[in-house]
Structure 1
Amino acid sequence: QAQKMESIGRLAGGVAHDFNNALGPVLGYAELLLAELAPGDPRHEELEQIRQAGIRARDLTRQLLAFGRKQVLTLVPVDLRGVLSGFEKLLRRTVREDIHIEMRLPDTLGMILADVGQIEQVLMNLVINAQDAMPEGGVLSLTLADVVLDEDYAGGHPEVAAGRYVELTVSDTGTGMDQETLRSIFEPFFTTKESGKGTGLGLSMVYGIVKQHGGGIWVYSEPSLGTRFKIYLPRNGESTDHRVISATPIPEMPCGSETVLVAEDNQHLLKMTVELLERQGYRVIARDSAQACLDLVRAYKGPIDLLLTDVIMPTMNGRELYERLATLRPGLKVLYMSGYTDDMIARQGIMHNGVEFIQKPFTVSALTQKVRELLDKSDP
Structure 2
Amino acid sequence: METINGLAAGVAHEFNNVLQIIQGYLSFARNQLPPDSEIRRDLDAAMAASDRAADLSRRLLQFARSEFDEGDLTDVNDAIDSLRLLLRPIIGENIRLEFDASTHVPVVASSDATFRQAMLNLCINARDAMPSGGVLTVQAAALSAPSADNLAVGELSPSNYVKISVIDTGEGIPAENLPHIFDLFFSSKSPGKGTGLGLAMVATFVESAGGAIGVTSQPGEGSRFDLYLPVAVDAEGDGIESLDEAGFTAPLLVTP
Q: Please, what TM-score do these two structures have when normalized by structure 1?
A: 0.51
Indicate the structure whose relative CO is greater, using CA pairs within 8 Å and at least 6 residues apart.
Answer: 2
Distance in 2 of aligned mates of 1:108 and 1:180:
38
Distance in 2 of aligned mates of 1:116 and 1:49:
37
Deviation by residue 1:22-63 (Cα, 9 ceiling, x = unmatched)? 445667x69x98xxx9xxx95999998787656543442343
SS at match of 1:64: helix
Query: 8 Å contact 2:142–2:163 — kept in the other structure?
Result: yes
Structure 2 equivalent of residue 314 of structure 1: none
Query: 8 Å contact 1:66–1:208 — kept in the other structure?
Result: no
- Alignment pair present for 1:244 and 2:249: yes
Structure 2 equivalent of residue 133 of structure 1: 129
Query: 8 Å contact 2:152–2:213 — kept in the other structure?
Result: no
Structure 2 equivalent of residue 229 of structure 1: 225
Distance in 2 of aligned mates of 1:47 and 1:236:
51
Deviation by residue 1:104-158 (Cα, 9 ceiling, x = unmatched)? 11111211243333222212221111112112211110011112336x769x888
Query: 8 Å contact 1:108–1:241 — kept in the other structure?
Result: no
Aligned-residue RMSD, C-alpha: 3.7
Structure 1 equivalent of residue 99 of structure 2: 103
- Alignment pair present for 1:92 and 2:91: no
Structure 2 residue aligned with 1:213, among 209, 225, 230? Answer: 209
Distance in 1 of aligned mates of 2:55 and 2:174:
30
Indicate the larger mover: 58-67 or 215-224: 58-67
User: Counterpart of 1:244 in structure 2: which amino acid?
Assistant: T
* Identity value in percent: 36
Structure 2 equivalent of residue 260 of structure 1: none
Distance in 1 of aligned mates of 2:133 and 2:62:
30
Structure 1 unpaired stretches of 5+: 248-380
Distance in 2 of aligned mates of 1:128 and 1:91:
9
Quote how far apart the aligned CAs of 1:207 are: 1.8
Structure 2 unpaired stretches of 5+: 234-239
Query: 8 Å contact 1:77–1:244 — kept in the other structure?
Result: no
User: Counterpart of 1:103 in structure 2: which amino acid?
Assistant: F
Quote how far apart the aligned CAs of 1:73 are: 6.3
Structure 2 equivalent of residue 114 of structure 1: 110
Structure 2 equivalent of residue 175 of structure 1: 171
Quote how far apart the aligned CAs of 1:64 are: 3.1
SS at match of 2:77: helix
Query: 8 Å contact 2:164–2:228 — kept in the other structure?
Result: yes
Query: 8 Å contact 1:108–1:240 — kept in the other structure?
Result: no
Query: 8 Å contact 1:64–1:205 — kept in the other structure?
Result: no
Select the structure of larger CA radius of gyration.
1
Quote how far apart the aligned CAs of 1:216 are: 1.9
Q: 1:194 to 1:25 in 2, by over 3 A?
A: closer
Distance in 1 of aligned mates of 2:78 and 2:41:
38
Distance in 2 of aligned mates of 1:25 and 1:165:
47
Q: 1:107 to 1:11 in 2, by over 3 A?
A: same
SS at match of 1:126: helix
**Could you list the runs of 4 or more consecutive aligned residues of structure 1 that deviate by over 6 angstroms after TM superposition?**
43-52, 72-75
